[in-house]
Structure formats: C-alpha cells, structure tokens
Structure 1
Amino acid sequence: MTAPTRPEPARAAPAHVIADDAEALAVAARLADEFRAGAAERDAERRLPHAEVERLSASGLLAVTVPAEHGGADVTAATLAEVFRLLASADASLAQIPQSHFVYVGVLRAQGTARQREFFFREVLAGRRLGNAQSEAGTRHVQDIRTRLDPAPDGGHLLTGLKHYATGALFAHWIPVLARAGDGELHVAYVPRDAPGLTVTDDWDGMGQRTTASGTVRLDAVPVPADRVVPHHLTFRGPQLHGAVAQLLHTAIDTGIAAGALAEAAAFVRTKSRPWFESGVDTAAEDPLLIQRFGELAIQVRAAEALLRDAARAVDAARADLTDDTAAEASVAVAAAKAFAGETAVTLGGALFEVAGTRSALRGLNLHRHWRDARTHTLHDPARWKVQHVGRYVLNGTRPPRHGLL
C-alpha cells in the first residue's frame, strides 16, 4: 500500500487564532460533529483526510498551546486532553495525526531558543503543521535511535536515517526528526517537508487508524541549519512533563474511541436492533439485559473519562509548580489513566457487537473500526510497564524514570 510522496502541503491563508480554553472546546466539539459524518467511509476506503486536516489548521486548534506571550491561547492540559477526546470520539485517525504536533510544540517551549520559539510559534499560529520522524524499526528497542546528526562544512548539520510510524509527516509543513549527534546526545531537528534528501512514503498498512498515513520517512544527508536543532537531551536532566503530556494525549484518544464506540452502539440498538424473543419487550432498547450491559459499559467509559480529567489536572498542577515530586505525581496519574483507558477502548470496541447483535457485523457498516483503532493505538507502548511504575510509586515511593514515555 505504497503511494507516491505528495508535495509539501499548500501554504494556506493564515489560520484563525483561538482566544481561550472555552473557544478551543467549542471549536473542537463543532469539528468533531463535522468529522464524525464521514469517518466510517474514510476508514473503509482508506481515503486520507487531507481536507479535514486543513480544516483543523484553519480552525486554529493546532495553535492552542502556543504561549500567551507569543499570541496563543496557551490552554490548560485539561482543555487539550478534552480537545483530543472529542476529536477521537468522532475519528480516531484524525485525532492521532496532530498528537506529535503538540508534543514537538512542547519541545520548543522547553528547550528552544528565543529565536526558535519566535519563528516556530509564528508558523504554528499561521496554521503550519508539525509532523514527526521519531520511531525506528529493527533497532534493539524504542530508545535505540540510530538516525545521525552529523556536522556539515557550513556549520550546520546533515541528517541521515530511516524512520517508521511517522504519523503526521505526510500532512506536515515541518517534520521534527529525533536524532543523535556524534556525542550520542539526543536532538530534534526541525526540517521542512520539502527539504532535499527527505522522502515521505505513504506505506502505512495497519489494520486500525488506517488514515493516519503513519508511513516511512527516509533521510539521505538532509541539510539542517544550526538554528533548526533543539537539544532534546536537556529535557530529561530535570523534572519534566514531556512524557506526561504526550501520554495524556494518547490517553485522551483511547478514551474518545471508547466513548465513540458506546455512542454508536447505543444508536444502533435504538434504531436497528431487534429484541430477543424471551425479553417480552417491543424494542431492543427496552431489553433489561441490554440495559444492564449498557450501564456497565457506560460506567467503564465514565471511569476512563474521570481518570483522564484527574491526570490532566495533575499535569496542570505540575506545570504551575514543577518539582521532582509534582512531575512524578503527574506521570503516575497519566500512567494510571492510560492503562485503564486502553483496556476500556478495546473492551468497548468488542462489546459494541455483543450488544448490537448479528447485523452489526456486516462489513459495510464498518463498526469494527472502533476495535481496530483501539487495538492498534494501544500497541503504542505497553500498559504493563505503566502499571509497574504505578505499583513502584505507591508501594515504595519510587519516582518514575525520566525517559519521556511515561
């Protein structure tokens, strides 16, 4: 399923600038309603959402974490998590595409120079998108980054490597690339989508999140000016929220998938399902056993949403007073929420068929996309290690590690 590389996304008219948290939530709810209508068809046909991604940019949602001093809304983590939850409840692929965008805006906030922040925040406010070229396949583990950032004769750098699962890269104006310099330290190079030597291939063939275009990025001695490189390794030398924020957004996506599956199951049962003959009722929605099961599923979704809100509040509290203790509390809260949300999303994706009945399995309805999206997205990083770190923290007071994945 390999497609030719598309040219760099068009430089559209400047995006709307969202003023505050309330407007961000209102815009997200409106876009979620708009995106929900075509989600099943886009997934079934693997029709990449170029127009929808442009709508996201134009709406101003992609700039809501730009600091206030640079003209952005600088929304809370609680608001950002709810934005992602709303989008994922409508279309999990669309919600996944900008996840790395916000992560790498955060990298600039944490380690960018004043000049870098000024330039890139202006780009983001204008509707430019950041993608990602982070993960690599065939290495010893996820932290074994082998992409090289070598010195160039002109004082800049040359990037060489091969990246996989590069969600957002196909739709991006700028692609942040995770690479190691000669001394082994980790950096992020912000590279234009049309840079010479950079190739993005749409070869993503996952069973779920089919329209994220999470394909391959090849870097063949890509030139990078010195002022486009950020020392990411410094992020992890003190208390940090890089991992907590990134994982919070993943948690919001899982929670949104679960809510979307529950809503679609309820609509199907109300309008298309028949009651079981032993129930003695006229409609499936009156079946007491179905009512019981919907209650159980709704409680599980509400619990996931509550844990998401709690985790977001912990991140906001740590952001206001960042110490080793507050950063640890935020990471643990997010880890707990992510572990539960992932299990809930997979459960709801399967339970949809249990409550909706035989007809719901028809391929043309594409109701299985919720389970496929949940099962694919929850493979991003193992929940078992999140539970392990929560247990260590509760039992022995051991703070979670600063590796950026918790």
Structure 2
Amino acid sequence: MSAHVIADDAEALAVAASLAAEFRPGASARDAGRRLPRAELDRMSASGLLAVTVPADHGGADVGARTLAEIFRLLATADASLAQIPQSHFAYVNVMRRQGTPEQREFFFAELLAGRRFGNAQSEAGTRHVQDIRTRLEPRPDGSYVLTGVKHYSTGALFADWIPVLARTGDDRLHVAYVPSGAPGLTVVDDWDGLGQRTTASGTVRLDGVPVPADRVLPHHLTFEGPQLHGALAQLLHAAIDTGIAAGALAEAAEFVRTKSRPWFESGVETAAEDPLLIQRFGELALCTKAAEALLSEAARSVDAARADLSDDTAAEASVAVAAAKVQAARAAVEVSSALFEVSGTRSAADSLNLHRHWRDARTHTLHDPARWKIQHIGRFVLNGTRPPRHGLL
C-alpha cells in the first residue's frame, strides 16, 4: 500500500473537505443498504489523512488538535459512520506516540505513512463496567505473549491492518497489544446491528490464543500515572463527530425546506422558507449547532495548549473543556436531527428519503459515554477545583 503524505494543517483540512464532498452523495445509500465503506476508507488511507498526527521527526504533518477535530467534524457532516471508523485509529496513534519505544514508533509510524489503518478491540460486554477489562495477555517463556478474550463494539477492526487490543497482564496492569489483522486465533465478526452508525461494523473481536511478539506490546497503564491527554483527545473526536452530525442534519433540513416543503396555509407566504415561524426555529437550531462548534474549537485549543505545556492543571483544564464540548455536541446532534422532521413536515418522514439516518446516527453515537457524568466533573471542577480523574474517558 502507498499513500500521499500530507505536509501541514492547511493541506489536511483541504483534503478532509474534499473527501467529505466526495463521500456525501453516497452516504444515504450506504446507510440504507448497510454497504460497508471499504472503498471510501481506502480513499481516506490513500489521501494521507490517517497519518496526519505522525510526528514531524518521523515524516508526518503532526497536526494539532484543532485541525484533527475539524477533520472529524467535516467528515461527520457527510457520513457519521465513516467519520467514526478512524476515531480509535487516532486514539491508538496517540498511545504509540506516548508509550512506544523508539523502535516501535519508527515501525508503526512508517506503517501509518504507508496508509495502514488501526482498528480497536477495547470494550467488553457482560463485565461489571467499562473499565472491567478481562482480556488477558499472558507471557510465554520466550518473552512473547498470548492474547485471550472477547471484545465488543470494535469499531474499525473489520477494516484494519492492525488491531490494538486492550488487555491486562497477570499483575492486572493495562497494556495495548498491536495485532495484525491476519494473526492466527484472531476473528473479527461483522455482527453490529445498531439502529444508527450502521456501517461502522462495530462488531465482535475474538482472541483465541493469539500470539503477540514482545515488541508489539505497550504499557498503557503508564499513560495514567501522570498528567495525560489520552482521554481528552479521544473524547474531542467523539464531540467532533456529534457536532458534524448536527451540522449535516441542519444543512439537509434547510435544503429540504427550500426545495420540497410547502408553507403552512396560515402563514400567508408563498414558500416554506419565508414562513416566519420556520425562520425562527432554524435560527434556534443554528444557535445550538454554532454553540457546539464554538465549544469544540475551544476544547481543541485547550488540548493543544496542554500538549505544549503538560501539567496536572493544563490536563485538567483540557479535559473539562472537552467534557463541555461533548455535552453540547450530543445535545445539538439529537435536537437538530429530531427537529429536522418538525421543520420539514410530513413528507420528510418517508422512509425512502432516509432522513432519519441523522437522528439514528445521533441517538446511537451519543450513547458512547454518559453526558451526565461529564456534567458532574465540570461542576466539581468549577465549584471545588477538583481535577477530573485520569481514567481515559474524559
């Protein structure tokens, strides 16, 4: 595989905008037919967009968080499923940046620049909670390891060249094992049946005695022993996806009202777009969406600032800013995608139009982690100066 190498932030944003425009026309049909976006992901890989956070000293553009968040927002305005697939990819690029040895970074950054994709095998079902990871990484006499476990919600794994697997060793410490897609004992099952985000293929990964060389394992537990931005960056990208869903739904609603809706007879106007009550509602929805975009930009700025001067205080400020962005983005995505039908009228509910994909995507993606706990951490920080916990989900 070969890929273009993006030079800087400006080129990264231009490529993302171009790909979003390319992917938008087919998004509804992909969702309706659950046609997995392999060709589109190959285009994304070839464009170099998936390697934009590779450090400059390894040949990458090393773009900032503001650029990365905008990339995800742009992609999500076109196709929320397609935008979500590389979210874990970038999260685990970040793990490699922070915990990889020089040799590991050299190898994997070269893979990324060549267009290779990371997936994820992180979450598990049937455990006590999301942090209860039971997949085991057992050492062998020769220094290598064996992986055993079952993962769910493994977005990106079906399309990946490498699957980062979150597992615990005998001392219960978290590690990440980077497993090639064709490894013996590894099975990726396309059994995702969510009502939204239908083409993410967020299914099951089974690990039945998967051999892992020692140089493919990273000590992820070290990430949380000091100030870190792992959770803030991962959550920033989720917020960007939700913000993009809101913007995409608002744009489609406006287009529908301009071209297909009839005015209510009491309005006394010739077109639906002149209806003062619809104009008022679109103004409200635009404010909701713009608030999400503004908080997303501010959160990304905070992450960039913390990255430049990482401390407990700057990491906490970044996490709280991202939490605020995520809460508003989730609200905007659900409200705007639901209001699409309110402003567009009866015809918009036709299943053949598939306008409900925006709400289905919003309702599904915003379940990723509860906003109520983010609000708790924001309140504790503002009222008592309590820093958020270092658990990687904030």
TM-score, structure 2 normalization: 1.00
Deviations 1:241-284 (CA, angstroms, capped at 9, x unpaired)? 00000000000000000000000000000000000001111100
Mapping for residues 124-163 of structure 1, pairs under 5 Å: 124-163=112-151
SS in 1 for 2:146: strand
Give the structure 1 partner of residue 34 of structure 2.
46
How far apart, CA to CA, are the structure 1 residues paired with 2:230 and 2:98? Answer: 9
Matched, 1:229 2:217: yes
- Structure 1's consecutive aligned runs of 4 or more residues displaced over 6 angstroms after TM superposition are none
The Cα shift of 1:152 comes to 1.6
SS in 1 for 2:164: strand
How far apart, CA to CA, are the structure 2 residues paired with 1:371 and 1:217? Answer: 28
Matched, 1:390 2:373: no
Deviations 1:38-61 (CA, angstroms, capped at 9, x unpaired)? 000000000000000000000000
Mapping for residues 15-164 of structure 1, pairs under 5 Å: 15-164=3-152
Deviations 1:308-331 (CA, angstroms, capped at 9, x unpaired)? 000000000000000000000000
Mean alpha-carbon deviation: is it higher for 259-268 or for 151-160? 151-160
The Cα shift of 1:74 comes to 0.2
Q: 2:240 aligns with which of 242, 248, 252?
A: 252
Q: 1:271 aligns with which of 231, 240, 259?
A: 259
Q: 1:315 aligns with which of 277, 298, 303?
A: 303
Deviations 1:18-73 (CA, angstroms, capped at 9, x unpaired)? 00000000000000001000000000000000000000000000000000000000
Deviations 1:205-231 (CA, angstroms, capped at 9, x unpaired)? 000000000000000000000000000
The Cα shift of 1:155 comes to 1.6
Give the structure 2 partner of residue 196 of structure 1.
184
How far apart, CA to CA, are the structure 1 residues paired with 2:273 and 2:142? Answer: 70
SS in 1 for 2:301: helix
Q: 1:335 aligns with which of 323, 328, 342?
A: 323
Mean alpha-carbon deviation: is it higher for 83-92 or for 148-157? 148-157
How far apart, CA to CA, are the structure 2 residues paired with 1:160 and 1:399? Answer: 35
- Unaligned 5+ residue runs, structure 2? none
The Cα shift of 1:370 comes to 0.5
- Unaligned 5+ residue runs, structure 1? 1-11
Deviations 1:179-200 (CA, angstroms, capped at 9, x unpaired)? 0000000000000000000000
How far apart, CA to CA, are the structure 1 residues paired with 2:154 and 2:179? Answer: 14
The Cα shift of 1:153 comes to 3.0
The Cα shift of 1:154 comes to 2.4
Give the structure 1 partner of residue 363 of structure 2.
375
RMSD: 0.4
How far apart, CA to CA, are the structure 2 residues paired with 1:76 and 1:379? Answer: 27
SS in 2 for 1:105: helix
Q: 1:209 aligns with which of 197, 204, 207?
A: 197
Aligned residues: 394
Give the structure 1 partner of residue 294 of structure 2.
306
How far apart, CA to CA, are the structure 1 residues paired with 2:101 and 2:183? Answer: 22
SS in 2 for 1:47: coil
Give the structure 2 partner of residue 358 of structure 1.
346
How far apart, CA to CA, are the structure 1 residues paired with 2:215 and 2:287? Answer: 50
SS in 2 for 1:307: helix
Give the structure 2 partner of residue 172 of structure 1.
160
Deviations 1:96-149 (CA, angstroms, capped at 9, x unpaired)? 000000000000001000000000000000000000000000000000000000
The Cα shift of 1:76 comes to 0.6
Give the counterpart letter for 1:266 in structure 2: A
TM-score, structure 1 normalization: 0.97
Give the counterpart letter for 1:388 in structure 2: Q
SS in 1 for 2:150: strand
